[in-house]
């Protein structure tokens, strides 16, 4: 997925009200950018961070800037937009390019299931069990090379694990897919100290037959694409 317009480097001044960030452009202008991330953004919202913004001239949008990347300054980047994983993954799933999730005839996004929920992707195929795929964007890293989920308490995420577990018990295939929007991590684990309920829910889900998968991303100011599979552990 290429960014629609060339990104512009900036410095983060502050992130507030969940969806807003004040930023300093290199020409000295202060601008307010939209932040497409409702999470805590732990470790990614400190004043002075080098970031990349996407400008737009859409008259329907109140804000003319959107925060897309954190630049770690060592050739590594983190994607901020939590909607990116599903957009990137959808095209690859439909093309049958995701190892372990290939060979299905139909890929349907946002299908109702469980209790007032929608599965990110439902994969179906002749003579194959339906495959329910829930996707989570992972951006937290507190140790070099290690990505962690979640970065805050997520009752919704725990609910999704329980609903995937029920699908597995019914004989469907259920997959919890962690998409790591960082280029500096090579493995994934759970931040059970941040959300013990999610950690417990993950253990129950695995016991019920839910599969855990993780994929990395290739990220640059030009765009974001899927990377290689990463190992997942609960500790």
Q: Tell me how far apart the alpha carbons of residues 226 and 180 are, in angstroms, rounded to a whole number.
A: 9
Residue that is last in its domain, among 79, 97, 117: 79
Are 70 and 90 part of one and the same domain? no
Q: What residues make up the domain containing 95?
A: 83-230
Q: Is residue 130 part of a domain?
A: yes
Which CATH number characterizes residue 220's domain?
Answer: 3.40.1350.60
Q: Tell me how far apart the alpha carbons of residues 53 and 43 are, in angstroms, rounded to a whole number.
A: 18
157 close to 136: Cβ distance less than 8 angstroms:
yes
- Give the closest residue to 57 by CA, choosing from 130, 5, 1: 5
Q: Is residue 3 part of a domain?
A: no
Place of tokens 């992707």: 121
Are 72 and 144 part of one and the same domain? no
Model confidence pLDDT, tens digit, residues 171-213: 999 999 999 999 999 999 999 999 999 999 999 999 999 999 9
Residue that is last in its domain, among 50, 79, 108: 79
Q: How many domains in the chain?
A: 2
Are 33 and 71 part of one and the same domain? yes
Model confidence pLDDT, tens digit, residues 101-135: 999 999 999 999 988 899 999 999 988 999 999 99
Model confidence pLDDT, tens digit, residues 44-103: 999 999 999 999 988 888 899 999 999 998 899 999 999 888 888 998 999 999 999 999
Which CATH number characterizes residue 62's domain?
Answer: 2.40.50.580
Are 220 and 120 part of one and the same domain? yes
Predicted local confidence at residue 115, as pLDDT: 85
Are 202 and 128 part of one and the same domain? yes
Q: Is residue 2 part of a domain?
A: no
What average pLDDT does the structure give for the chain? 94
Are 54 and 162 part of one and the same domain? no
Model confidence, pTM:
0.94
């Amino acid at each position: 997925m290429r960014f629609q317009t060339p990104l512009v480097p900036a410095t983060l001044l502050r992130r507030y009200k969940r969806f807003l960030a004040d930023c300093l452009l290199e020409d000295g202008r202060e601008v307010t950018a939209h932040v497409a991330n409702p999470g805590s953004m732990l470790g990614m919202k400190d004043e002075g961070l080098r970031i990349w913004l996407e400008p737009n001239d859409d008259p329907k949008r109140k804000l003319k800037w959107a925060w897309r990347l954190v630049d770690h300054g060592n050739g590594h980047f983190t994607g901020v937009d939590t909607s990116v994983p599903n957009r990137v993954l959808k095209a690859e799933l439909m093309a049958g390019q995701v190892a372990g999730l290939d060979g299905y005839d139909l890929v349907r996004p946002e299908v109702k299931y469980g209790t007032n929920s929608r599965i990110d992707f439902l994969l179906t195929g002749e003579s194959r069990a339906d495959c329910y795929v829930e996707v989570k964007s992972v951006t937290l890293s507190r140790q070099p090379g290690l990505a962690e989920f979640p970065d805050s308490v997520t009752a919704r995420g725990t609910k999704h694990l329980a609903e995937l577990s029920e699908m597995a018990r019914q004989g469907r295939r259920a997959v919890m897919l962690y998409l790591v929007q960082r280029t500096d991590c090579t493995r994934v684990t759970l931040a059970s100290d941040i959300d013990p309920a999610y950690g417990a829910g993950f253990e129950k889900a695995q016991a019920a037959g839910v599969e855990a998968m993780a994929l990395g991303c290739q990220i640059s100011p030009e765009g974001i694409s899927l990377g290689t599979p990463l190992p997942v552990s609960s500790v």
